[in-house]
Amino acid sequence: MRAIAFLIGMAAMLPMSMRYPFIGVLLWGWISFMNPHELVYGFGTSLPWAYIIFGFMLVGCVVGREPKRLPNTALVWLIIAFMVCTSYPQIFALANPILVFDKWEFVEKVCLFLLVTAAMVNTRERIHALIWVMVISLAFYGIKGGAFTLLTGGSSHVFGPPGTMISDNNQLATGLLTTLPLMNYLRMQSRHRIIRIGFVVTMVLTLFAVLGSYSRGALLGCGAVAFFFWLRGRNKLISAVAVVLVLGLGLSFMPAKWTERMYSIEHYQRDASAEGRLNIWHVTILMAEDRPLVGTGFYGPYTQRIVNLYDPMVQARAVHSIWFEILGENGIPALLAWAGMSFVTFLNTRRILKYAKGVEGLAWARDFALMAQVSMIGFLTAGSFLSMCYWDFYMTLLVVVGAVWELVRAEVRPRVTAWAPIGASDRLAVSR
């Protein structure tokens, strides 16, 4: 029944994405972030839904009349640069060409989706629609995982949907941490008390799902998120009490074996997993030193034959770091482009906070910028110990922040003095 319902829903929505391409953006996001086709059985599971949606959406972009314009921003150019910097290194890739091509195809597909999203998400309504899709997609696993943790007393690990970017317990925990601040943003924007209460319950369950993942990296990310939640809260005292109560409740609920695993962070020198990560990080640095412009190509650090070229004593494995994975696979230019995307986005949040302050009708933009900063901190902290550098959810968040800044910039433009161009953020003067 689930498969039939899913197929009927997709059959109804796909033609609409040709007439209204933004529907295709939402469909793509739902399929890519939540992977609902992995939750059904039968024919619906095996179809390449992302490609099907992308095809319908591209047709809609050509024949549809919806307003669409790729903004001329630093973030867009960095996405294009990242596409280039993850493409030409594959000409010199050392791993299996078939595996290399599959991963290259996935990364480029994600970047194309980001560019289409940047062109289509150009109103507050569309921004909120996409944020809702992002939150619902991950909140499903937060509610499910949190309930599982409570029912089992935290005795079992929580995992994500198989065959996806968040299938591993560590990856799922990082994804949920990244989504938590966005849940809070929607709670802040909701007018109905029932919806706000629902978000509070969802956030608490999501926190239990994060703890139930038994992810040590996520625990560090959880601490960073909690701190910035308090730092960015409107009422510091209430925020501090809420954070302490929720975290205290969650930590006291988890069993002794969870506590023992978390304490192992202090003794990483004796932990085989931690030692393996440090070794492979060292190998990726050697790869970048040897091939600074191209790295070893996709799957280089994952291939023992290639790792042996740099250190035969190290076991090939997942890199478990957003920074070192890009460095080892694609070299320094790709790492700079990827890091630049996050850096520019952080600057955009600062601009939103600065220029939306006191402007009527832009309080929502400030709220979003605050929560987006917390999301980024959570992902970058936990992701430093995970292989999630190509996660489309996070990069979509960067695009959404860019779209919000474009709206804020357009709104404050009439208030800008003639001598200060709107692009020169440091010299921008807003009339009060």
* 90 Cβ contact list (under 8 Å, min separation 6): 100, 101, 104, 297, 298
267-314: per-residue pLDDT in tens? Answer: 444 456 678 888 999 999 999 999 999 999 999 999 999 999 999 999
pLDDT at site 225 = 81
pLDDT band at 217 (very low <50, low <70, confident <90, very high): confident
* 401 Cβ contact list (under 8 Å, min separation 6): 345, 348, 349, 352, 368, 369, 372
Taking each helix axis from N to C end, the angle separating 49-63 and 21-34, rounded to the nearest 10 degrees, works out to 160
Mean predicted confidence (pLDDT) in 401-420:
77
Alpha carbon of 51 to those of 64, 112, 164, 397: distances in Å?
Answer: 19, 12, 16, 21
What's the rounded Cα separation, in Å, for the pair 16 and 284?
A: 45
Q: Where are the beta strands (DSSP E) in 7-114?
A: none
Residues above pLDDT 70, as percent of the chain:
88
* 175 Cβ contact list (under 8 Å, min separation 6): 138, 141, 160, 165, 166, 391, 393
pLDDT at site 429 = 37
What is the Rg, in whole angstroms, of the alpha carbon atoms belonging to the chain?
22
What's the rounded Cα separation, in Å, for the pair 288 and 99?
A: 20
pLDDT band at 48 (very low <50, low <70, confident <90, very high): confident
Taking each helix axis from N to C end, the angle separating 124-152 and 193-212, rounded to the nearest 10 degrees, works out to 50
Type of residue numbered 420: A
Alpha carbon of 78 to those of 29, 189, 344: distances in Å?
Answer: 21, 31, 9
Task: Report the SS3 class of residue 358.
Answer: coil
pLDDT at site 237 = 67
What's the rounded Cα separation, in Å, for the pair 170 and 138?
A: 14
99-150: per-residue pLDDT in tens? Answer: 999 999 999 999 999 999 999 999 999 999 999 999 999 999 999 999 999 9
pLDDT at site 185 = 95
Structure tokens at 172: 């799922």
71: left (phi over 0), alpha (psi -120 to 50) or beta: beta
| Largest distance between two CA atoms of the chain | 64
What's the rounded Cα separation, in Å, for the pair 191 and 193?
A: 6
pLDDT band at 44 (very low <50, low <70, confident <90, very high): low
**pTM score above 0.95:** no
Boundaries of every domain in the chain: 1-66, 67-265+322-427
Write down the mean pLDDT value for the chain. 86
pLDDT at site 234 = 66
pLDDT at site 6 = 80
What's the rounded Cα separation, in Å, for the pair 23 and 26?
A: 5
What's the rounded Cα separation, in Å, for the pair 206 and 137?
A: 12
